[in-house]
């Protein structure tokens, strides 16, 4: 595919997703590993009022630095495969809640609890979630939680 270098604006051919052309990424890499105070490690622009330890002139350069470091690291470690992301539900899943309430109420696990909820649904015509919320509400009232 053809990408456009975010620094010099040149178009270049690349097989991976890259933000910078080869020349710019080599130059930037040199600056990242051998930083000069007051010079942006990525674009090489001078930063007259750079704070101590400031390496990048802008958020954009900071972001580019990450992609360069990543890319080089992966070049040197071709065997490395990122660990699969473990899915962490933000809120507890409905299934876990059903299971939990089932145990608290002494009905059983998820299966038994769902069977009980479904029986109630057939009578009430409400959805599984509504019946569950109702049961949970009643349980919590009875057991003094709020
Ligand atoms: Zn370039
Ligand atoms: Zn910069």
Question: Is residue 79 scored above 60 in pLDDT?
Answer: yes
Q: Which one has a higher pLDDT value, 89 or 40? A: 40
Look at the block and give the residue holding tokens 């059903």.
Answer: 98
| Cα of 27 from ligand 1 centre, angstroms | 9
Q: What's the confidence (pLDDT) of residue 88?
A: 66
| Cα of 129 from ligand 1 centre, angstroms | 55
* Token representation of residue 68: 């360069």
What is the share, in percent, of the chain residues with pLDDT greater than 70?
95
Q: What's the confidence (pLDDT) of residue 91?
A: 65
Q: What's the confidence (pLDDT) of residue 78?
A: 78
Question: Is residue 68 scored above 90 in pLDDT?
Answer: no
Spatial CA neighbour of 65 closest among 1, 16, 3, 7 = 7
Is the separation of the CB atoms in 41 and 31 below 8 Å?
A: yes
| Cα of 42 from ligand 2 centre, angstroms | 5
| Cα of 9 from ligand 1 centre, angstroms | 6
Q: What's the confidence (pLDDT) of residue 133?
A: 94
pLDDT one-digit tens code per residue, 88-131: 656 678 899 999 999 999 999 999 999 999 999 999 999 999 99
Q: Ligand nearest 46 Cα, by number?
A: 2
Q: What's the confidence (pLDDT) of residue 146?
A: 53
Q: Which one has a higher pLDDT value, 92 or 66? A: 66
């Amino acid at each position: 595919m053809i990408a456009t270098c975010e620094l010099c604006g040149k178009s270049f051919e690349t097989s991976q997703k890259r933000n910078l052309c080869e020349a710019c990424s080599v130059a930037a890499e040199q600056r990242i590993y051998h930083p000069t105070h007051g010079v942006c490690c990525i674009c090489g622009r001078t930063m007259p009022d750079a704070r101590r330890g400031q390496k990048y002139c802008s958020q954009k350069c900071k972001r580019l630095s990450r992609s360069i470091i990543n890319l080089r690291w992966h070049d040197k470690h071709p065997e490395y495969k990122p660990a699969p992301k473990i899915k962490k539900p933000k809120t507890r899943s409905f299934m876990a809640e059903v299971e939990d309430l089932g145990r608290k109420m002494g009905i059983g696990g998820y299966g038994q609890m769902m069977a009980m909820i479904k029986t109630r649904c057939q009578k009430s015509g409400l959805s599984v979630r509504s019946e569950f919320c109702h049961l949970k509400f009643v349980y919590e009232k009875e057991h003094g939680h709020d």
